[in-house]
Every structure is written in structure tokens, then in C-alpha cells.
Amino acid sequence: MALTLEQVRHVATLARLSLTPQEEARYATQLSQVLDAVAELEALDVGQVEPTSHATLASSLLREDVMRPSLPPEAGLANAPAKVGTAFAVPKILE
Amino acid sequence: MSSTLTDLSMLELAAKLAAREVSSVEATRASLQRIAQVDSKVRAFLRVDEPGALKAAEASDARRHAGSPASALDGVPVGLKDIFLTEGVETTCGSRILEGFVPPYDATVVRLLKEAGLPLLGKLNMDEFAMGSSNESSAYFPTHNPWDLTRTPGGSSGGSAAAVAAREVFGALGTDTGGSIRQPAAFTNTVGLKPTYGRVSRYGVIAFASSLDQPGPMARTVADTAALFQLIARHDPRDSTSADVATPDCLTGLEDGVRGLKLGVPREYFTAGMDPEVEGTLRASLEEFERMGATLVDVSLPHTKYALATYYLLASSEASSNLARYDGIRYGQRAKDARGLKELYTQTRGQGFGAEVKRRIMLGTYALSAGYYDAYYLRAQKVRTLIREDFTRAFQQVDALVSPTSPVPAFKLGDKVDDPLSMYLMDVYTLPCNLAGLPGLSVPCGFTQAGLPVGLQILGRPFDEARLLRIARAFEREHDFFRRAVPV
Amino acid sequence: MPLSDFQTVIGLEVHAQLLTQSKIFCGCSTAFGAEPNHHTCPVCLGMPGVLPVLNQRVVEYAVRTGLALGCTVKPTSVWSRKNYFYPDLPKGYQITQYDQPICEWGELVIDTPSGEKTVRVRRIHLEEDAGKSVHDASASAGQSLVDLNRAGVPLMEIVSEPDLRDADEAVEYLKALRDVLVYLGVNDGNLEEGSFRCDANVSVMPKGSTTYGQRCELKNLNSFRFLKQAIEYEAARQVDVLESGGKVDQETRLWDVNKGITRSMRSKEDAHDYRYFPEPDLQPLIVSDALRDSQAKVLPELPRAKRTRFMGEYGLPAYDARILTAERPLADFFEACAAHAPDAKKLSNLFLGEFSRLLKDEGTPLSALRFTPAQLGELLATVEKGTVSANAAKDVLGEMFRTGRAPADIIAEKGLAQVSDVGAVEAVVDDILAKNAGEVEKYKAGKKSVYGFFVGQVMKAMKGKGNPGLVNELLKKKLGD
């Protein structure tokens, strides 16, 4: 199945990836090849098969509702590229 | 002195530390010296933490002195794939987007190693976000195979494998999502164990594909691998997928041999495309197992050929979501020239991720998107069920499965960089095990005429790592491939 | 067609913050009002490598709510990731329940002018809250600031079927649901702080039609009044659109409090495609029989049942019963007092009047009252016996609020006891009438307005302690009425 440039751009928008025109063209080709390769799965009849979403079926782990210390804000924000006070800063969000 | 020291296995060193013949500081300095000697050629390390390692070594020596070592491996220096978060030590996952990121916490396995007293020598190179089979997708530089510097050490835990093989570290931790521990182990004449999914905590391990990722030990001998494994195989209340099972004892029965065991040989794992020398080495190894008293059983895993497609759809889908957090807001690199919020996202991610990572994010985003979910993601999940069931049936007949780890020995750097599909084929024998959540191990089983290592893969039932190690040890005992001197 | 020929159809999606100590997937505090990012850790900051671990109390509260609303509680439900990019969403996805929620198909009965109505609850699911972005901080021109204290706070979403037919029904449903959640102890019902939030799906269709119109989702409805105003505005707007030959677009609209209108939120750059898939970091959620039973055991009597019982057991009007049962602590305290009070209706009057006023003015929470239900009952009994006037009783109650002393002591100390002795009162009445013979003449000649003067004089002579009933009775007798 061939992916169009338009589809590649749509997926890139969904994934928030800026791509150069060269990258768009390359991914269109390469992703089309990968999709052709994975098309072999269509040969299988999986109508009655349950999907596997987890490698093991352990019972769900729960924790007690107990408060634990938070990170000191200076540690939580130590890696922030931009901050104001103890808040992370981003370019203005336009609704 | 130092060269002989670094040739020791972890347990040999541990014995000398226990006997007070050497100190941890001496061993750590020997490793640091070896790194200084060879790493400019091997390029296994992204970051060496000399002060941290020496400080830990001093503390270890103090414990030995006080007669209260923290563990059997107290004082044995090891390395970490740069996928493990280390508090206060930069962690990049081989990516530009995390350049400069200094974690505020330790991964659970890092904490366990620290508590056990192992000096941590530094952070080892890897394919970016563990996506790759050659270490060439590292945003920093490719690592070279110590057995042939023009070749790849494999990936994604290629830095870990290369550092172990080159005697820069005594052991290392890697992670395995589709073969990322076993394939580099096979390429470098080292042992690598991918534990059962849920056996080792993923907390603090940067996620690639959450339902497939599993950290594991890499070392030069089977016994070292077992000893390191025992330190990290702990239930972790911080990981909901961590299995609540007791830490296994893998050392007690390690020398028990394979007599009476039934070893399955999956016929789908011996297919066209396998390197003839790899196949020859494998066939010889199988005969050897028979000589040692094991029974070989021909088994079929009929859905094997669908594993690659299934894996790439599922792993890429999960990755597309796992990597959404790298947005340049709370940590990591932010695009300098972004105007407005939208560009902040697209440029940060467009510039911060490498080609392979972007390719997989694109594939995963597409496979999960409206209108395609059922055809790709859901279908792949169903095929995953069929692949698991193949293994369940096989393990009703046999105790373990044996196969090649990789269809080829280490290939030349640059050979497959522009051909993702052919690169993906490197993982055909390793990734079904991840889809099924099973334990798998690669143990050295010989060399090609050109001197390239060949690995034998052993797969087992869930939580049956002890048996895999025992089978591997039986083979290793006959050969001692790990004694062979590495050319670098 | 005029507006009255259209039928409004409404369904509500309620987000209720669960009253836990810690967040849904980590140990950070859920408390409101901390400095930005002071309640965050690697998990809720979405650091690399972190994993969620589910808070057990969140599950208990959802199960409790499901049982209270008569839902099917699913033995197995599934966590999903909802993927979208926004600065206040640290992981780039929200962990939520999607196609397999924890509870399905319950109902809530509400009162409407035409009688009881059953509103179906389609589903209850659990999810994590996002953080908060502040857009207009003066210190940061051109920037928005992100605070992740709320990120990971546990939310329960309760989705109704589109069974509501006008704004009043919607308000009634929302109030009834809030009362239930507060009764269950799972939510604080606070709309202003956003711990109880509501979105409304509104559409219109010609009356008699069975096909719903295109719906719009209304947001920013943080009070019952706004909910009512927004639905009424939106229904009228949609009718206008249809009447002028247009078509209602499915969209999200924001209630603009200042302008009193709903306005379209600028549509996102790309259509929403949340790419839901099962959360690989969390196993399916198993609700054990033991957990379910533990919640069934602690289910309290719900507001509606309690109200009905109050009407029957205490003979109270519906109005009183509703107010008294709106909050569980008040209802419990009322019942405790009723056991000691001679007349439930008079007790109710006191609760709805002076008692409520004092609670509010003194700012005393019920849990911190200084007097016992028995003492309040005693006070009412003294009023009944005529020992104190109803007015004096208010003062006594005020003193009980402040000091917690026994009513008898307060009455004695302040000399608030009434004179109800016939002989004593008669002597004063006789004296006053004798001293004011002129006024008595005027009264008898028909100037009835001087009656108040006599009462005043008697009460003044008795320093206000004459039993008013007795004073009246004797005055009228002596004046020959």
C-alpha cells in the first residue's frame, strides 16, 4: 500500500514532527514498503482470536492511598528549558 | 596487573575481592584504565563517571574491610546502557532530544546495583531510544565491535556488549525489546539474558515499547550473567507489570548439565537467508547438546514468519505514544528558533529525534490512527496471541528451544543504514520471544573463519531463567569461548 | 416553528475529583491551592522511565458510586491511552478508560414538575486529570505557564444518557448527582474549585420527533446557574440556526460568563484523533468480589431515600426534608436531635432558621459543635413548656454555639426564664390597667389600637419575661373581649 505525501504530512502533524520535503518523500517510500511488508498479516484469519495487549496476565497491582513526599520543585524543574518561578514556561497558548 | 585484572570474570573478581587480594578501587581503576586505552577505538561509552565509580569502590572496600559486603558482587564495577536513569548523571537514551538531561531519580535496577555495592563506571552507547540493531542510530556516534572494529557490535545494547567484550567493564545492563540484549551478545562473544517480561523492573528505564521492553544482564560468562541477574530480578511495587515472584536461585543448579532435557529445534528458525557459517556452527552445537545427553526435538512455531510484521506494528505504536513526552517543555532539548507553541512541538521533535526514531513514530502514529487501528494495531495484537500460543504448544513438548540468535554474524558498519527493512530482518529470531513475554538468552557458540563470534539462543518457559542459564552453562563448560582474547 | 415547538435534549458528562489523599498513579498530594509544581514527582511530571501504579481507593470509590447508582460493576475493565499534545498533559497522553469502563448502566431518579423521572447513567470511568496552564500572567508576556499540581489527580467521569429535556431537569440531575457523591464521601461537590465539573451535550429536535438533532458540547459550566443559562441560550441558538435554514455543527462551545452566550472554541488545527490503545503499563483492572462487597457494606442511605423517610417518619414537608437531607452530616445531626426533641417540625424550623444562620455566621462546622443533640432537644422542650420564649431560645442557642454550656444554665444565668405564673402575671396586668384608666376607656370605646400599648407596658413592667401567650390571654379577659 502506497502512502501519499498528503498522508505522510497528516501523520507528521498528528505526531508533531516537522519534516523536510526530503524527509516527507523518504518516509512516504519507506513507510509504504513497511506497510507492504506488514500486509502479510492480512493472510491470517484472526476473526476468533483474542488480542494480546500485555505480555503477561498478572493481576493488577494496587497501591494504598498514602501520600509520599513530592520532588522539591527545584529538582522537578532543574531540567526545564524555560521556567518562570516554579512554573514551566511555553510560548503563549492560543485557544 | 591491570590487564589481567580486567580479564577476570565478575565472579573471579568477586572471589579476589572477598579474599582481599585486590580492592574494588584497584579493579575500578583497572577498568578506567582499560577504558582510557581502548574506548577511543570501541566507543562504547557515552559518559564515564570516574568520580562516582571510584567513590562507590572506596565505599565497597570499606564494607569489605568491615567484613560486611553488601552482596556477592560488592565492588565489581559494571556499566549501564544509557537507557537507565541515573540520579545526577546525564541520561540521553542515545538521543539529541535528551542531551543534558540529568535525572532526579535512579531506575529501580540502578538502585539495586548501588545497594549491592557495584561501582557504576558510566553510561553506554545505544541505538537512539533502543530503536536499531547496529548502534548506528545513536545520535552521538556508532560503537565498534571489539572483534572487528569495522563492524557493528549489534544493537540496541551495542555499547553494553562492546564494553563487556572489550574488558572495559566486568558486566553491564542492557534492555531487550526485540533482541537488543541477545543480538549484540551474539555479535560480541558475550552472554546476554532477556528475562521473562515482568521479572525485572522497568521503573526508570526509558520506555521504547512498554509491553515488550525488559532489562537484563550482559556479561562474559554464564555464571556472571546469573549472578548479575539475581541482583536485579526483584518485584517492584513501582512497576505495575512487575511480577510478584521470588528472586530465583540461578547459581545452585548451574552446573547440573543438560542430561535428560528435551530441547526443541524450531524448524522455522533455520530458514533461507541464514549465513552458512552461522548455520554450520549452530548444527554443530546442536550435536554437542545431544552428546551431552539432551534430546533434540523437531518443533514448529508456525506463526514465526508473522512475528516481524507484528513486532514492528506493536512496538512502533507503543513507541509513538511513549515518545510523545519529549516535547521540550519539562526537560530535554527545545528547538531554539521555534515561534509559537505549535512550532515548539514540531521543531523540537523534528530536530531532536533521528531518522529511525521518526520513522517508527510515523509508523506507529499511522497504525493507531482513525480508520487504520483495526487493520494494523488490533490485527497485530491478535497475531501476537497466535505467536504466544505457538510457544505454549511447543513448551508442552520440550523444556527449552534452541536456535541461532542472529541469522548473520556482525555486519559492516554502514551496510544497512539506508535499508530499514533489511535491518529489521536482523531480529527475526529474537523478537518472537518478546511478543510472547518469554525469557531468552544468547551464549557464545563459536566463531566464523573470519573470527566473528556466533551466538546460540535458548528460549524458555515464563520464569524459567535458571534452566536457560544451566543449559547455556553446560555448553560454555565444553568450550570456554569467553577465554578467547579480544583483538582490541 | 417557534422555540416552543422544539424539544431540547440534554446529556451531562460529570467529572468528579475523588477525595483521595494521593494522586491516582503516584503518591503526590491532591490538595488544592499549592504553589505551582509543588505537588509533583517524576511520575506526574511525565519524566522518562516512570510508570503508573493505581491508587486502590480510586477503585473503591468508583465501585461505591457504581453500586449507589445501580450500575453493573465490571469485574474487568481496561486502561487506555488517549494521545494528544498539550502543554498541561505531561506524558502526551492521558491514562483513561475508554471502551471498557469500570461501571455501566445505572440510573438516578430526579424530581420534575411532572413527577419523578429516571435518568439513565451510561457509564462511569476513571482517569487522571491534566495540569493547568495560566495564560495571562503579567510577569510572563507572550508566555503561558504550566503547573502540574493537578496532573494525575483522580477523576471519575459519569456520563448520562440524553434523557434530560430542559435546563431545569439538567440542574436537578446535577444537584441530585452531587448530593449522592457527597453522601458517598467520594467527592466534595465543589463546583467553584472545579472538583465537581460538568459538560453538557445539547441538541434540539422538533417536538414529537424521535431523531435527535446534531449536538454541541458546552464547557465552562461551573455553577448550577451557568448550566441553566447556557443550556437555555444554546437551545435557543440552535433553534435560530435551524429556523434560518442553517445546520447545527457538532462542536465544542464555551459558556462565556460575561456575555451570557456560548461561543465556538476555535477548532483545533487538526481533527481530533486520539489514537486510543490499551495502556501497556497497567494490567486490566480486576474488581474482586471482596472489594465489591467491602463497598456494598459501606453504602449509606442515599439522599432521596433519606428524604422520603424524613417525610414519613418525622411528618416533615418535602421542602424541609430536602434541605435537611442535602448533606449527610446535617441529616445525621437532625436525627440525633429529633430523638430528644418533643416536636420534629419545630426542630426542623429551628434547623432551617436560627440553627442554619448560626452555623453560617459562627462559621462552625457541624463536626465542631460544642453542644450535644440532647441539649438541643432540652432547649426545645423548655420552649414547649413555656419556660423560655421562642425569642429567648434563639439567644440561648447562640450562647450554646459559643460556649457549649447547658441550656438550663444559660437560662438561669441570663434570667431568660419566662413568668408563666397566672397570679404573678395577673397582678401586673391589673396594675397596668388601673394606672391607665383613660386608655382603657378609649379602648372600650373602640380604639382597638391601644391594645399594643397595654402589652408593651405589661412586658416592660415584667422586664420582658412575661409569657406572651399568658399576657395576651389575661389582658383580653380583663378588657372584656
Query: Which of the given ranges, B117-131, B272-286, C236-250, has the highest pLDDT on average?
Result: B117-131
Strand partners, C303: none
| Domain extent for C443 | 422-478
Residues of B (68-127) whose Cβ lies below 8 Å from A: 100-102, 104
Grid coordinates of C321: 426534608
Of B212-226, C294-308, C341-355, the poorest mean pLDDT is in C341-355
Percent of chain C with pLDDT over 70: 97
Grid coordinates of C267: 477548532
- Determine the pLDDT at residue C271: 59
Of A8-22, B86-100, C207-221, the poorest mean pLDDT is in C207-221
In a domain, B354, yes or no: no
Which residue, C396, C414, C432, sits at the end of a domain?
A: C414
Which residue, C275, C295, C315, sits at the end of a domain?
A: C295
Chain C residue numbers with beta carbons less than 8 Å from the beta carbon of A76 are: 37, 40-42, 45
- Determine the pLDDT at residue A57: 67
In a domain, B334, yes or no: no
Nearest residue to B417 (alpha-carbon basis) of B336, B352, B354: B354
C85, C87, C273 member nearest B324 (Cβ): C85
Chain C residue numbers with beta carbons less than 8 Å from the beta carbon of B323 are: 92
Tell me the C-alpha distance between C461 and A35, whole Å: 103
Q: Residue C43's pLDDT band (boundaries 50, 70, 90)?
A: very high
More confident residue, B416 or B336: B336
Closest residue in chain A to residue C268, using alpha carbons only: A95
The helix (run of H) or strand (run of E) holding residue C213 is none
How many Å separate Cα C310 from the centre of its chain? 18
Chains that touch B (3 or more CB pairs under 8 A): A, C
Is residue A95 over pLDDT 90? no
C354 and C286 within one domain: no
Cβ separation B203–C49 shorter than 8 A: yes
In a domain, B340, yes or no: no
Laid out side by side, the sheet with A87-91 consists of A83-84, A87-91, C143-147, C132-134
More confident residue, A86 or C408: A86
Cβ separation C48–B241 shorter than 8 A: no
- Min Cα–Cα distance to chain A from C152, Å: 13
Averaged pLDDT, B81-99: 98
Tell me the C-alpha distance between C162 and C160, whole Å: 6
Cβ separation B330–A80 shorter than 8 A: yes
C310 and C290 within one domain: no
Chain C residue numbers with beta carbons less than 8 Å from the beta carbon of B317 are: 277
- Determine the pLDDT at residue C139: 57
Q: Which of C28, C56, C85 to mutate to test the interface with B (most CBs of B within 10 A)?
A: C85
Please tell me which residue in B180, B316, B317, B403 is annotated as part of the active site.
Answer: B180
Grid coordinates of B297: 526435538
- Determine the pLDDT at residue C140: 61
B15 φ/ψ angles, rounded to the nearest 5 degrees: -65, -40
In a domain, B441, yes or no: yes
B329, B353, B380 member nearest A41 (Cβ): B380
Which tens digits make up the pLDDT trace of C411-441? Answer: 777 777 777 777 777 888 888 888 888 888 8
Which tens digits make up the pLDDT trace of B134-174? Answer: 999 999 999 999 999 999 999 999 999 999 999 999 999 99
B242, B331, B434 member nearest A80 (Cβ): B331
Cell 556482525 appears where? B410
Tell me the C-alpha distance between B372 and B369, whole Å: 6
- Determine the pLDDT at residue B2: 43
- Give the CATH number of the domain where residue C444 resides: 1.10.10.410
Contact at 8 Å (CB) between B357 and B130?
Answer: no
Cβ separation C51–B203 shorter than 8 A: yes
Cβ separation A34–B312 shorter than 8 A: yes
Averaged pLDDT, B232-241: 96
Q: What is the DSSP letter of A8?
A: H
A73 touches B at CB < 8 Å? no
Residue C314's Cβ-side half-sphere holds a number of Cα atoms within 13 Å equal to: 32
- Determine the pLDDT at residue C345: 81
Q: Which of A19, A20, A23, A38 to mutate to test the interface with B (most CBs of B within 10 A)?
A: A38
- Contacting residues for C460 by C-beta, under 8 A, at least 6 apart: none
In a domain, B301, yes or no: no
C135, C148, C282 member nearest A93 (Cβ): C135
Averaged pLDDT, C288-312: 92
Is residue B1 over pLDDT 60? no
Q: DSSP for B382-415?
A: HHHHHHHHHHHHHHHH-SEEEEESSSSSPPBTTS
Cell 435554514 appears where? C245
Three-state secondary structure call for residue C464: coil
- Determine the pLDDT at residue C138: 59
The three-point CA angle C164-C166-C167 to 5° equals: 105
A64 touches B at CB < 8 Å? no
Crossing angle between the packed helical segments B307-322 and B379-397, to the nearest 10 degrees: 130
How do the domains of chain A map onto residue ranges? 5-41
Helical ranges in C151-223 per DSSP H: 167-184
C55 and C152 within one domain: yes
Three-state secondary structure call for residue C254: strand
- Give the CATH number of the domain where residue B185 resides: 3.90.1300.10
B156 catalytic, yes or no?
yes
Q: Which long-range contacts (CB under 8 A, 24 or more apart) does C94-97 make?
A: C94/C127, C94/C128, C94/C130, C95/C24, C95/C25, C95/C52, C95/C127, C95/C128, C95/C279, C95/C282, C96/C125, C96/C126, C96/C127, C96/C128, C97/C125, C97/C126, C97/C127
Q: DSSP for B237-282?
A: TT-TTS---PPP--STTTTS--TT-EEEEEGGGS-TTS-HHHHHHH
In a domain, B140, yes or no: yes
Chain A residue numbers with beta carbons less than 8 Å from the beta carbon of B310 are: 41
- Min Cα–Cα distance to chain A from B92, Å: 13
- Determine the pLDDT at residue B366: 95
Domain count, chain C: 3
Closest residue in chain A to residue C282, using alpha carbons only: A60
Is residue C467 over pLDDT 90? no
- In the predicted model, what is the mean pLDDT of chain C? 88
- In the predicted model, what is the mean pLDDT of chain B? 95
C33 touches B at CB < 8 Å? no
- Min Cα–Cα distance to chain C from A11, Å: 10
Averaged pLDDT, B43-63: 98
A2 touches B at CB < 8 Å? no
B205, B237, B240 member nearest C283 (Cβ): B240
- Determine the pLDDT at residue C269: 43
Tell me the C-alpha distance between B13 and B219, whole Å: 13
CA distances from B279 to B270, B272, B403, B446, B456 (A): 8, 10, 9, 11, 10
The architecture of the domain spanning A5-41 is Orthogonal Bundle (1.10)
C359 and C223 within one domain: no
Which tens digits make up the pLDDT trace of A16-75? Answer: 999 999 999 999 999 999 899 889 999 999 989 999 988 776 667 899 999 999 999 999
Closest residue in chain A to residue B437, using alpha carbons only: A55
B160 catalytic, yes or no?
no
Grid coordinates of C226: 451557568
Cβ separation C28–A70 shorter than 8 A: yes
| Domain extent for B173 | 2-260+400-483
Tell me the C-alpha distance between C230 and C249, whole Å: 17
3-state helix, strand, coil in chain A (%, to 5): 40, 10, 50
Which tens digits make up the pLDDT trace of C184-225? Answer: 999 999 888 889 999 999 999 998 888 899 899 998 888 999
C309 and C375 within one domain: yes
Closest residue in chain B to residue C89, using alpha carbons only: B325
Which residue, C295, C320, C345, sits at the end of a domain?
A: C295
Domain count, chain B: 1
- Interface confidence, given as ipTM, is 0.95
Please tell me which residue in B156, B285, B317, B442 is annotated as part of the active site.
Answer: B156
In a domain, B439, yes or no: yes
Q: Which long-range contacts (CB under 8 A, 24 or more apart) does A23-30 make?
A: A23/B355, A23/B358, A27/A3, A27/B358, A27/B359, A27/B362, A28/A2, A28/A3, A28/A4, A30/B359, A30/B420
Q: Residue B465's pLDDT band (boundaries 50, 70, 90)?
A: very high
Nearest residue to B334 (alpha-carbon basis) of A91, A22, C139, A24: A91
Please tell me which residue in B23, B81, B134, B138 is annotated as part of the active site.
Answer: B81
Which tens digits make up the pLDDT trace of B385-414? Answer: 999 999 999 999 999 999 999 999 999 999
In a domain, B356, yes or no: no
B358 catalytic, yes or no?
no
